Chains A and B, each alone.
Chain A
């Protein structure tokens, strides 16, 4: 498809070519793991955190321990810890990724994870190293079903 575009007289503006190539890799999908994390695949803005359900189950979050920028974690490895009033819970990496940013707001306001676990309360921004691993994750519908089954 890219070849066809460059062989015609049509001279697309450079940003459109870049846009198309990244379009091929991108999929605006939010995936969920069995450990109740989510990863929102969105190019350089790919973020990950814990699900609303996980945040609700944990109760008041009083402290969030986040990793160093630049570190790479394999799938299912612990990259951080979330402390609630009663206990500390590990957070696991959904797919192999490198940390490019951590949510600094959580240092002063760990409760942000309770308020908005799947948007404002994101934990890390990453660059995915192994896209194939996304295949083993669930979409929203599958995750909701998974949660219902877990209750029983």
Chain B
């Protein structure tokens, strides 16, 4: 299995894939900086990442992000640049978005599907004019890569003599730094000198420069707040920019702990919890990811298997919804959901405390008839039933710059 995978990896950095599963732990360009700032490092998907920092608790970091600005090092995620005349035609087969409709420097959240229509990973695709820029999750990146390269072989053989070329470049040394929070624009304006940043809308990308370092960035994130994600290819430059960002008076470092509590509060899915290969986009309440054209015409892997559910969404056996408990302990992943009569109806995919809603919140999968807002439910936590109800997401209002 491993040798097959290595063969498919082609001209990419084999060491990173190997490390992610078998080798020594990987470190981002900011590793020393995290430690110097009191980062509590933990292994995560083969990387040494900060879960929190000494100066703030996870909740304090969460609140700081919503009020001011936090810096997240998300360099563990996988970044690709896909070139070639057939790149759009090829990539369009792999995701549920209309890749051909993405305007230059626009970004789209989408997902890869498997032959059953299940979700392989969620990802961001950006049209950078002469190439597609792709970011995938750290944990899924090795399997995403195998999937993409395998699909390329299929595409090539189907196109035959009409094949004009696709080049998949994995950017091994890419650093991704996310600045998130209401003060992000102010900080970026100060550092880049880009006064027109107030015209850059959510999900748009652009080129930037800080202290002679050129980089690309986008107005998005994973916290529900306004913010930017900077992509810097040279590790030394990434460290320089990281230091400049953390030295801004408004900014505090935030780790994986706050990243998870923020995304949950904002109703954002986590791959591996709320989306898996066994869950399709309709069940995951992510129908909006599938373009209107693809809902009717297909054109992505696994469409035929989920076509009937796309056309009749209420026919799914389970649906992802948000819940709020009346009090008590938080419900966690895999906790059982019951109706008020005590019959088991579903399961919790993500759960935790909400610093701002001040109730335990989470996402669960239940049959469509229980998915209505306000439906009373019970969740079994350590042998006791905890009552709550189905609520709208996001649990806390988001602040995307639209």
Q: Are A and B physically bound partners?
A: yes
Bound-state Cα–Cα, A65 to B327, Å: 12
Q: Which of A61-100 contact B (CB under 8 A)?
A: 62-63, 65, 81, 83, 85-86, 88
Q: Which residues of A contact B (CB under 8 A)?
A: 59-60, 62-63, 65, 81, 83, 85-86, 88, 114
For the side of the interface on B, what is the size category?
10 to 19
CA distance A86 to B261 in the complex (A): 9
Are the C-beta atoms of A65 and B353 separated by less than 8 Å? no
Query: CB-CB < 8 A to B257: which residues of A?
Result: 59, 85-86
| Structural contact, B328 and A59, CB atoms closer than 8 A | no
One of B51-59, B89-97, B200-208 contacting the partner = B51-59
- Contacts A59-B58, A59-B257, A60-B59; A88 near B353 (Cβ below 8 A): no
Contact across chains for A85 and B329 when beta carbons are under 8 A apart:
no
Residues on B with C-beta less than 8 A from A85 are 57-59, 257, 261, 352-353
Interchain CA distance A83-B58 in the complex, whole Å: 13
Q: Name the distance in Å between A143's Cβ and chain B's nearest Cβ.
A: 22
Partner of B57, one of A60, A65, A81, A83: A60
Chain A: which residue is nearest B328 at the CB level? Answer: A63
Q: Are B58 and A65 in contact (CB under 8 A)?
A: no
Contacts of B329 in A (CB 8 A): 63, 65, 81, 83, 88
Pairwise interchain contact A65-B261, C-beta atoms closer than 8 A: no
**CB closest residue in chain B, given A82:** B329
Bound CA–CA A62/B382 (angstroms): 16
List residues of chain A with CB within 8 A of the CB of B328: 63
Does B330 lie at the interface of the complex (its beta carbon under 8 Å from any beta carbon of A)?
A: yes
Closest to A63 in B: B329
Are B330 and A83 neighbours in the complex by a CB distance under 8 Å? yes
Q: Is the CB of B330 within 8 A of A62?
A: yes
- Binary CB contact string for chain B from 326 to 368 against chain A (1 if under 8 A, 0 otherwise): 0011101000000000000000000011000000100000000
Measured in the bound complex, the distance between the Cα atoms of B57 and A82 in whole Å is 16
A65 touches B330 (CB 8 A): no
The answer to whether A60 touches B332 (Cβ under 8 A) is no
Please measure, in the bound complex, the distance between the C-alpha atom of A63 and the C-alpha atom of B354, giving whole angstroms. 12
State whether A60 and B382 are in contact (beta carbons under 8 Å apart), knowing that A83-B329, A85-B257, A88-B332 are contacts in the complex.
Answer: no
